[in-house]
Structure 1
Amino acid sequence: MASETEVDGFAPLRIARVVRETADAVSLVLDVPEHCARRFRYQAGQFLTLRVTVGGRDLRRCYSMSSAPVEDELRITVKRDPGGVVSNWINDTVVEGDEVHVGPPEGRFVLRGDLSGATEVVAFAGGSGITPIMSLARAAVDDPDRRVRVFYANRSRESVIFARPLDRLVAEHGERVLVHKHFDEDDGVVTPAAIEAFIEPAGDAHYYVCGPGPFMEAVEESLLAAGVKESRLHLERFTVAVPEPNAMDESSVTEDVVIELDRKKVVASYRRGDTLLQTARSAGLRAPASCETGSCGTCMARIVEGSARMLNNDALDDDEVDEGWVLTCQSLPTSRRVRMTYE
């Protein structure tokens, strides 16, 4: 049963502990009350959506869990980002006892069910991309037959998040855990040769990648070139896609959007450059949404007439896209009329 104080699916959670990880990264341990325990069960690698008010603005941001279910704790880690309104606000002002509004765990960057026996988890993290990787590693080592290998790239030693927890994982699990720390200040940016050398001993593994865009692209290209199957390559992107000029031009042909939600049909005039989610909100509809980065799938709807283009999609699989499903928070209409339905 949902808490009476929940609003739009966001529950008020108290911050039980604040942990300063580095000069520009902080972890928040969240106190989940008993009546919310079921809703906040999570898988390693998933994220939470926080809804906060900063400077009078209602903002939503997604942050990956750095804890794992085996730890019986719910913890997120937030790194300061130049120009990042919410991340900087969290690092500068949040203290133990504060309350934040949090959506339930979401995301598909999780351990795959076919991992068993000697199968390895091989992970590549860049900077704050270590957050979900740390969660995955902590969960993976709970299986005594599983090996975990982590390639962690940072600009300098001072920017390493979870330095001690990573060292503890190695100390506690011996040969089952390998952590390689790469520092740009010593060896330059990560090269394909360094990536290939790290994966060479790996056996029948699944590969997980999270970090800055250029880092992720380099790792993805190197893994595919080395013969890693796409089905065993899992990516988690933190960046939000923005409309390209040509995408804006495509959307300019749209005149209206027909939206079917909760047994209501609304015809909304289209404003150039808006996503389908923004169009629904402008029409006064309480359209479902959570992360608004194309990662969770909460806002998905099906296009039954016309067409739309997704700027980012980390939630829907190819079959769902073929059936007409889109993430409305990331979709720009590309036809004169679009009709979509929430089912």
Structure 2
Amino acid sequence: MSGVADGGGATDVSGAAGFASLRITRVVRETADAVSLVLDVPEHCSSEFRYQAGQFLTVRVTLDGRELRRCYSMSSAPVQDELQITVKRDPGGAVSNWINDTAAEGVELHAAPPEGRFVLREASDAADVLVAFAGGSGITPIISLVRTVLATSSRPIRLFYANRARESAIFARVLDGLADAHPDRLVIVHHFDEDGGVVTPSAIEHFIDPVDPVDSADYYICGPAPFMETVEKAVLKSGAPGTRVHLERFSVAQVPLGVTEDSAEPTEEVVIELDRNRTNAAYRAGNTLLQTARMAGLRAPSSCETGSCGTCMARVVEGSARMLNNDALEDDEVEEGWVLTCQSLPASRKVHIIYE
């Protein structure tokens, strides 16, 4: 955001390469800790901000002298002819909390064009079921998918939506309205931890049971890491092909303890080619390739930093690297040497990467 003088210390970041100024035209308080922002896209960059259901925007702000980037999924659908993001307050989340506290009509957000691969796969049959699982704010990209499928196809949808409590369920009334309007196509099952504890594998298996055939449905999963892990394991156990299971992570993967100790040759040097310039960077154990590039003073491309969007991808031309998470690259791209630098740790004495 820009042009706002407040206690958060926001300053204007207009003019940043790749970012456009989007004005907030409407603020919708969804729950006590979540807000939706409807954004006006200037005509001169409207083509760049066309999006697919399930994608996200990267927002860039400066708070208290620190430049921060955060990714927020669109909760609107392209068929609505508007762009809306939804932001949930997060304990310790500087940007999400600041947006929840200060967002107002007329304020400008600086955002990069939509990205992300958590998008609809073209169904081979109109009867292919869309099976979606959302935990908490994970409903944000999911509701965009649901709205799009309802408006553009005749596919049936099953949605499992988990929240800690009823009052924390974002879009509860909107979802009820969609279910009432499409009773023959949309089935919603709500789960509240306050009633029966956290989601269990058996609850997921019971929800999937009516899906027939299980291997022709498309499965979309978004939410907190423990929730996603439980759902993914249950879905795969049910017989769903891995190629039909799609994940969207909101949190950055943490580097496991000792992950760099497996290599017999500690990394000593990382060579980075960016914008046709070559930099020899010293390596600090535990850092990703993206962190290494930043420590060398390079403005390497990045966006989500969770391994979901592919913005930071580079090709390893010498040595090797190990990806902690990959929800963006296809198998053939990995075989060609491409890695997500935000999720990649060097795994050889010398690593040479090229941003192309």
Give the TM-score, by structure 2 length. 0.91
Q: Distance in 2 between matches of 1:250 and 1:299?
A: 25
- Confirm or deny: 8 A CA contact 2:260 2:347 kept in the other structure: no
Task: Work out whether 1:143 is the aligned partner of 2:152.
Answer: yes
How far did 1:301 drift? 0.7
Aligned 8 A contact 1:254 1:336 in 2: yes
Contact 1:240 1:312 in 2 (8 A): no
Partner of 2:181: 172
Moved more, 257-266 or 217-226: 257-266
Of 162, 165, 170, 1:161 maps to 170
Name which of 277, 287, 298 aligns with 1:264: 277
Task: Give the match for residue 319 of structure 1.
Answer: 332
Aligned to 1:68: 77
- Partner residue of 2:7? none
Range 41-50 or range 263-272, more displaced? 263-272
Moved more, 69-78 or 262-271: 262-271
Could you say what secondary structure the match of 2:118 adopts?
coil
Q: 2:113 aligns with which of 104, 111, 131?
A: 104
**Separation in 2, partners of 1:129, 1:326:** 26
Whether the aligned pair in 2 keeps the contact of 1:250 and 1:333 (CA below 8 Å) is no
The range that moved more, 107-116 or 224-233, is 107-116
Equivalent residues of 1:303, 1:326 under 8 A apart: yes
SS in 2 for 1:234: strand
Residue 144 of structure 1: CA displacement?
Answer: 4.3
Which one of 76, 89, 92 corresponds to residue 83 of structure 1?
A: 92
Q: How far off is 1:273 after superposition?
A: 2.9
Q: 1:222 to 1:61 in 2, by over 3 A?
A: same
TM-score by length of 1: 0.94
Q: 1:139 to 1:115 in 2, by over 3 A?
A: farther
Per-residue Cα deviation, 1:100-159 (whole angstroms, up to 9, x for no partner): 110111111111013541111111111111111100000010134211111111111111
Q: Distance in 2 between matches of 1:56 and 1:162?
A: 34
Pair 1:36-2:45 in alignment? yes
Deviations 1:4-32 (A, max 9, x none): x6422111111111110000000111110
Distance between the aligned counterparts of 2:57 and 2:128, measured in 1?
Answer: 28
Cα distance in 2, alignment partners of residues 212 and 65 from structure 1: 18
Tell me the distance in 1 between the aligned counterparts of 2:225 and 2:107: 33
1:19 aligns with 28
Aligned match of 1:294: 307
Q: In structure 2, what residue type is equivalent to 1:230?
A: G
Structure 1 unaligned runs (5+)?
Answer: none
**1:334 positional shift:** 1.9
8 Å CA contact retained: 1:156, 1:184:
yes
C-alpha distance in structure 1 between counterparts of 2:228 and 2:133, whole Å: 8
The total of aligned residue pairs comes to 339
- Of the candidates 292, 313, 325, which is equivalent to residue 279 of structure 1? 292
Instruction: Describe the SS at the equivalent of 1:202.
Output: coil
Indicate the SS of the match to 1:217. Answer: helix
User: Does the Cα contact within 8 Å between 2:249 and 2:306 map onto a contact in 1?
Assistant: no
Counterparts of 1:235 and 1:122, CA distance in 2: 12
Task: Tell me how far apart the structure 2 counterparts of residues 115 and 14 of structure 1 sit (CA, whole Å).
Answer: 39
Give the Cα–Cα distance (whole angstroms) in 1 for the partners of residues 206 and 139 of structure 2.
20
Residue 126 in 1 paired to residue 126 in 2? no
SS in 1 for 2:182: helix
Segment of structure 1 superposing worse, 115-124 or 269-278: 269-278
- Alpha-carbon RMSD: 1.6
Separation of aligned partners in 1, 2:165 and 2:196? 10
Tell me whether 1:213 sits opposite 2:225 in the alignment. Answer: yes
Q: Residue 353 of structure 2 aligns with which residue?
A: 340
Structure 1 range deviating more: 31-40 or 244-253:
244-253
- Distance apart, 1:278 and its partner CA: 2.4
Runs of 5+ in structure 2 lacking a partner?
A: 1-13
> Percent of aligned positions with the same letter in both sequences?
68
Give the superposition deviation at 1:33. 0.7
CA gap 1:146/1:304 in 2 versus in 1, 3 angstroms? same
